[in-house]
Structure 1
């Protein structure tokens, strides 16, 4: 696959508690994206603060850190052509009430503060690389060729 891009995605504690991991992973697999890394983990407070560092001056920062550390998450790295844009479109808007049906947040999210999923954004320079590096060592990411790649990309 040429022009493959990697992007960071996380099923948040509410998505884990609600049993939505399989549904979310299936949506990305159905889209043709390739899972190259996954880790079921509980985020330490320091790592959560680093993850959300661009929001540290916001009044909701402490609550955000408290929530993301409240239970296990599934951190993942997905690969595909224009993977970040594809994932962002599939997730929907941050507020589930503004996300159209068919998106992950539009179908599964209930509340702005409980929107089940996080994905890296192109708009913050280096967000993908920074978030991937924050959650994964290089040896935890796997290069492999999927048998269906020739059917997905020209």
Structure 2
């Protein structure tokens, strides 16, 4: 049994509660689910993304037709950015979030329970170690990450 605060595997990932999750008052519920799963929140902040920051966040989608819509949406209100730590946290968080399309997300997942459409699917989580590192570095300075 792990003691509180003990971490066996220090894998880290980036997670964001999107503007609709903040606006709908789901921050506490989502943070509770993350913590109940056993992941540690080692950095957390509320911010409103600038267009420049949003374009960096979605850089891999720059040439896709929905890029502008992504940027407009993520800059439409405050978000909660965080760094999570724990064993298998990258893949585990993605399972906890559910499928990108909420219509395909299983009940019991964050998107399955709270999201109605793909364009406003409540939460973002990095999909790989490389993405996690890039996104963590985009939103947090090393001294802002605890643990």
For residues 87-124 of structure 1, what are the alpha-carbon distances to aligned partners after superposition, in whole Å with 9 as ceiling and x for unaligned?
000001100000010100000111110100000002xx
- Aligned residue in 1 for 2:137: 133
State the aligned residue count. Answer: 141
User: Partners of 1:12 and 1:113 in 2: how far apart?
Assistant: 10
- Aligned residue in 1 for 2:72: 66
Unaligned residue ranges in structure 1 (runs of 5+): 144-154
TM-superposed CA distance for 1:6, in Å, is 0.6
Q: Aligned Cα RMSD in Å?
A: 0.8
Unaligned residue ranges in structure 2 (runs of 5+): 1-6
- Aligned residue in 1 for 2:9: 3
Q: TM-score, normalised by structure 1?
A: 0.90
TM-superposed CA distance for 1:2, in Å, is 2.9
**Is 1:96 the equivalent of 2:96?**
no
- Aligned residue in 2 for 1:108: 114
Q: TM-score, normalised by structure 2?
A: 0.94
TM-superposed CA distance for 1:3, in Å, is 2.4
Secondary structure in 1 aligned to 2:42?
strand
